[in-house]
Amino acid sequence: MPSPRFLVIGAGARGHAYAQAMKDTNAVVAAVAEPIPYKRRTFGKTYVWPGSDAASEGQEFTHWDEFVAYETARRERAARGDDVPPGVDGVFVCVLDEAHRDVVVALAPLNLHVMCEKPLATSLEDCIDIYRAIRPQPGREKKIFSIGHVLRYSPHNVLLRKLLVEDRVVGDICSVEHTEPVGWWHFTHSYVRGNWRNEDVSSPSLLAKSCHDIDLLLWLLSSPAKAGEGVPHLPSTVTSSGTLQLYKKSRKPRAAGTATNCLKCPLGDEGCKYSAKKIYIGPDEQGVETGNTGWPLSVVLPEIEDMPTIEERKSAVLKVLEQDYDQSTPAEEVAAKKWFGRCVFESDNNVVDDQFVTMTWDDEPVSSPATPPLSTSSSPSPPGASPSRYAKTATLHMVANTKKICQRYTSVYGTDGELHADSKTITVIDFTTGETKTHTPPTVREAGHGGGDQGLTRQFVGAVDAVINGGARASDAQAEFIGCTIDDVLRSHAMVFAAEKARTERKVLDWGEWWSSEIEGQLA
C-alpha cells in the first residue's frame, strides 16, 4: 500500500518536530515549502531528499502559494494524461501564526488532509474564515483536519482523560485548577524578545501559549466520551484577569541605566538573570557552551548546526545578540524581526505575563441528539428536575516567572475523590476507601510536549492512512484517530477570544450570549 505523502509548510522548529516524528510512522515527507533558502535546504536534505544533491520536481517550494500553483497545474497535467510526479495526501502547516488563515484557506480548494499548528489563527474572524473554508460541504469529499493541540496526545494526558472521563475516579468533577508555568527565561525568549512579544503583530499570549490549555480543559470537562458523539456540556460563563506585570520599563533595575542591549549593560552577565549573553552563551543547559545547537539557539541562529566549533557558534550568536534598535529605527523594522539581545525591560513587548481564566458550568440535562453540534448550551434544568450533568468550575493560570518550563500541573476535585497531576505522575485519592494510588504514564525521552508531538503526528498520519489505504470514511477516522472535530477546534479558540474580551473589558461574559452575537450568524 502507498505510504501517505505529506508537504511541510514552514521549516522552523515546529516543522522539524513533526517531520522528525513522522520517521516513526509509515509517512513520507515528500516536500517542503520555506522562503529562507538555508532553512529550506537543511530541511530538505534531512527529510525530503536525503542522500541526493538536489531536490526533484515537486519536492521544494519557496512559498506556500508556489505549491498551490504547482499542485493545481500538476493535477491539470495529470488529467491530460501527462507523466507527472505523485502529489501529496496531506499538509502540515507550520508557518507563523498570523499566516495560518491565508495558507489554510488557499489550500482548501485542493481538498487535502491538513494539520495546522496551533493556534488556528490570530483573530476570531480568521478562525471563522478557516472553519468556513474547510467544514464539510455538499459535493466535496470530507478530509481529515487536525490542529496542533499536542496536549491531547501526550501519554500523560491520554491517561488523565481516561481516569477522569471514562473511569470517573473522582466521581462527578466539581472543580479544576490548572497551571501552565511558562518559565522565566522561556517567556523572555519567546514573548519578550521573540516572535510572540507583541500582540499587534502576533497575538495575545493566552492564544499563542495557552490555547491548548483551554482546549485541554474543554476536552476534560465539556467533550463527550467519544469525539463526534453526543452533545458537549458547554460552559455558562467565562471571565479573566491579568496584565503585563514584570517585563516592562518600570521594573528595570536602576543600576542598568539607559542600556537597551544586554551586551552594553553595566550590570554585566552576572548582575541580571535575564542577560541574553548568560542565557544563550552561558553554561546553563540551553547555552552554546554546553554544545547545544537545538532550541532555543536554533531560533536565534538557524544555521548554528553547520558551525563545527563552539567558538564559531559563540561568535556568531554574539553578533546576533549585538543587534539593537533606537528611536530612529522605523517601527515596521522593529516589529519585523526578533531582538534576542534586547533588555527585557526595554523591549517592544506588550503581551500579558500573568493571567487567570475562570470558566463555570451550570447544571444541565443531557440534550437531545437533534441539538446542533455547535449549539451554545442546553436550556437550564426545569424546577425540580434532576440534572444529568452538574455544575463545575475550572481555572487556568498562565504564569511566566517560574522555574518550571511548561511542566503543567493540575488538581481536580470531585464528589468521590481528588486527583493531582504534574506532567509526570497522576495521583488519585479515593474518599470512600481512603486509598491513594499513583499512576506513572509512559514517558517519551527527548520528546516534545511530553510525547504530544509524536502522539499528534502518529494519530494524524494514522487517520490519513486509514482513509487512503483502509477505506475508512474521513468522519470515522477523524473521530477514532484525531479525537476532535473542526467544531471542537473553533469552540476552544472562541473561548480564548471570549476570555480576552472579558479580561480587557473587566467583565464576566455569558458564553451563550457571546457566542450568539459574535459567531453564530457568521456560520450560517
What is the bridge-based pairing of β-strands 28-33 and 5-9? Answer: parallel
Q: Which of 78, 114, 181 is nearest to 405 (CA)?
A: 181
Mean pLDDT of 420-440: 97
What b/e string do you get for 325-342 counting C-beta neighbours within 10 Å, with b at 16 or more?
beeeeeeeebeeebbbbb
How much is the pLDDT for 445? 57
Nearest Cα to Cα of residue 519 among 503, 485, 495: 495
Supply the angle between the helices 100-107 and 64-79 in degrees, to the nearest 10: 0
What pLDDT does 225 receive? 77
Out of 3.60.20.30, 3.30.160.100, 3.90.700.10, 3.40.50.720, the CATH code matching 5-143 is 3.40.50.720
Question: Which residue intervals of 339-378 are DSSP H helices?
Answer: none
- Whole-number pLDDT of residue 444: 64
Mean pLDDT of the chain: 92
Closest CA relative to residue 199, chosen from 102, 325, 97: 97
Do domains 5-143 and 153-246+350-369+382-447+486-523 share one topology? The answer is: no
The answer to whether 156 and 214 have CB atoms below 8 angstroms apart is no
Mean pLDDT of 322-335: 94
Is-cis flag, bond preceding 296, omega within 30? yes
Q: Which amino acid is at 226?
A: K
Tell me how far CA of residue 308 lies from CA of 291, 293, 380, in angstroms: 10, 11, 66
Q: What is the pLDDT of residue 388?
A: 64
Question: How many Cα atoms sit within 13 Å of 489 on the Cβ side?
Answer: 29
DSSP, collapsed to helix, strand or coil, labels residue 40 as helix
Mean of pLDDT values over 335-350 = 95
Of 3.40.50.20, 3.55.40.20, 3.30.360.10, 3.40.50.2000, the CATH number of 153-246+350-369+382-447+486-523 is 3.30.360.10
Percent of the chain residues past pLDDT 70, beyond the cut: 94
For the chain, domain boundaries: 5-143, 153-246+350-369+382-447+486-523, 249-336
- pLDDT tens digits, residue range 449-507? 778 899 999 999 999 999 999 999 999 999 999 999 999 999 999 999 999 999 999 99
Q: Which residue has the cell 525568549?
A: 189
Q: How far apart are CA 399 and CA 309, in angstroms?
A: 37
Task: Return the CA Rg of the chain.
Answer: 24
pLDDT at 368: 45
User: Region 3-21: what's the mean pLDDT?
Assistant: 95
Integer Cα distance of 247 and 343 in angstroms: 9
The length of the chain is 524
Of the candidates 76, 74, 80, the residue with the CA atom closest to the CA atom of residue 30: 74
313 within 8 A of 303, measured Cβ to Cβ: no
Write the pLDDT tens digit of every residue in 241-296.
999 999 999 999 999 999 999 999 999 888 999 999 999 998 888 999 999 999 99
Which tens digit of pLDDT belongs to each residue from 177-190?
A: 999 999 999 999 99
Query: Confidence band (pLDDT; 50, 70, 90) for 366?
Result: low
pLDDT > 70? residue 369: no
